[in-house]
């Protein structure tokens, strides 16, 4: 299985990260908020764990959405 990781930066808004977590990863608002705060405080956070193909697809969607809004949000995939 593969972890989809979100990386903190100084430009992407917290609201956008929550939106990503809700729309791409289907997290509830409380769960999305907790993950966003983990990303903010620790510099990195796990958005979810998936098969390799799904993890890559979700990561690509995050990057596409972030770029379309002018945010440099970094998303990576790492094997567990």
Residues 5-11 have a mean pLDDT of: 97
End-to-end CA distance of the chain: 6
- pLDDT tens string 23-72: 999 999 999 999 999 999 999 999 999 999 999 999 999 999 999 999 99
Report whether 6 contacts 56 (CB < 8 A): no
Q: What is the pLDDT of residue 13?
A: 97
Which residue ranges form the domains of the chain, and what is each CATH number? 2-79 (3.30.1390.10)
Judged by DSSP in three states, 71 sits in coil
Buried b (16+ CB within 10 A) or exposed e, 8-45: beeebeeebbbebbeebbebeeeebbebbeebeeeeeb
* Percentages (nearest 5) of helix, strand, coil residues in the chain: 50, 25, 25
């Amino acid at each position: 299985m593969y972890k989809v990781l979100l990386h903190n930066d100084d430009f992407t808004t917290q609201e956008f990260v929550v939106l990503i977590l809700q729309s791409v990863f289907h997290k509830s608002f409380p769960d999305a908020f907790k993950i966003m705060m983990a990303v903010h405080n620790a510099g990195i956070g796990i958005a979810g764990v998936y098969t390799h193909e799904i993890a890559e697809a979700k990561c690509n969607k995050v990057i596409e959405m972030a770029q379309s809004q002018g945010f440099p949000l970094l998303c990576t995939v790492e094997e567990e």
